Amino acid sequence: MSTVVFLEHHEGELLKGALGVLAKAAALGDDSVAGFIAGADVEELAAEAGKYGAQVVYVADDPRLAAPLPQPRVDVLASLVRDEGFDTVLFGASVLAADVAGGLAARLEAGLNWDLVDLERRDGELVGKRPALGDSVYVDVGWRDGPRIALFRPGSFEPEAGGGEPSVERVEARIEDFSLAATMVEQAHEERTGPSIEDADVIVAGGRGLGAPEGFAIVEELAKALGGAVAATRAVVDAGWYPYASQVGQTGKTVAPKLYVAAGISGAIQHKVGMQSSNVIVAINKDRNAPIFEYSDLGVVGDVHEIVPKLTELVRERRGS
């Protein structure tokens, strides 16, 4: 079997989610695992892909691919899959990747499984694992025929380096005229001082238990002391307390940090969906019956306004800062 992984990049770096999917593909032991990079002046990224298991990296380097628009990438990737005979195409979830995966499935008349959290080989066939019924159960999914296309939930795999130097193949960017009809007028950049919640190893999240927007000050201080990022619940962002880009949950972002601290969060199923893959979950809530305690590794019953500042002080003392 031969697999190609769509390697999305941003500001000169391959995205962590895409590299995690690439490392997983390499661990499955396929006959051939390749990466695909599209953009302008991106050939230097190929070496990084080799570290995570890509034996070959196909690079479509063309000024027409400079903007992160999906349709030109669909054109180039579809041609590559046909020409090289790939039977599996994998994507790490993002807005761009979802658009490209959907467009590719339509173009190739192929099956697409999305929101997967794992992939394994069983009796010679690929089997994906997908959450269902509000993430209360996991189901096995497959493909009737090829090429198989899969889109993985953020945080499903850690990008573990273990590869070497890949061979680099330059791909001609054969782009349809209609795919160039859309142009990007402006690209906004999120202003932040710390890591994004998708990439952070530590996340401190705040909920309605903080009482007011000003309550996020103690969450931000703890996140800063831990070197982490700040997240929020849907109720908080809907109320205008914190930006939507920080929302974790079913209608927000899915994260999987090493440590997730939930301050004043009740833990409804919609929020659980977005953070249950965290390695260690610590909950702080004055309601001892809050649902979040049911799936936390460590629970503290008490007032977040008293506990979080003390925790921040302790972290700073331990770190000597």
**Which residues of the chain are in CATH 3.40.50.1220 domains?**
202-319
Nearest to 102 by CA among 71, 130, 57: 71
DSSP class of residue 23 equals H
Element at 54 (helix H, strand E): none
* Residue 14: per-residue pLDDT: 93
The answer for residues whose C-beta is within 8 angstroms of residue 61's C-beta and 6 or more apart is: 39, 40, 41, 42, 43, 170, 173
Bridge-based pairing of strands 125-132 and 118-122 is: antiparallel
Owner of token pair 């997983």: 24
Backbone angles phi, psi at 102, to 5 degrees: -65, -45
Q: What is the pLDDT of residues 13-48, one digit of tens each?
A: 899 889 999 999 999 876 689 999 999 999 999 999
Cα–Cα distance between 291 and 306 in angstroms, integer? 21
| Superfamily (CATH) of domain 2-180 | HUPs (3.40.50.620)
Tens digits of pLDDT across the chain (321 residues): 699 999 999 888 899 889 999 999 999 876 689 999 999 999 999 999 999 989 999 999 999 999 999 999 999 999 999 999 999 999 998 889 999 999 999 999 999 999 899 999 998 889 999 988 877 788 999 999 889 999 998 878 888 887 778 899 999 999 999 999 988 888 766 655 567 888 889 999 999 999 999 999 999 999 999 999 999 999 999 999 999 889 998 778 888 899 999 999 999 888 988 898 899 999 999 999 999 999 999 999 999 999 999 999 999 999 876
DSSP class of residue 153 equals P
Cα–Cα distance between 8 and 15 in angstroms, integer? 6
Give me the long-range contacts of 196-200 (CB less than 8 A, separation at least 24). 196/229, 197/229, 197/230, 197/231, 197/246, 197/248, 197/253, 197/255, 198/16, 198/17, 198/154, 198/155, 198/253, 198/255, 199/16, 199/229, 200/228, 200/229, 200/255, 200/257
Q: What is the pLDDT of residues 177-199, one digit of tens each?
A: 999 998 888 876 665 556 788 88
Residue 189 amino acid letter: H
**Which residues of the chain are in CATH 3.40.50.620 domains?**
2-180
Beta bridge partners of 116: 152
> Is the separation of the CB atoms in 225 and 315 below 8 Å?
yes
Cα–Cα distance between 318 and 307 in angstroms, integer? 16
> Is the separation of the CB atoms in 59 and 168 below 8 Å?
yes
Backbone angles phi, psi at 236, to 5 degrees: -70, -45
Sign of the C-alpha dihedral computed for residues 185, 191, 195 and 199 taken in this order:
negative
The CATH class for the domain spanning 202-319 reads alpha beta
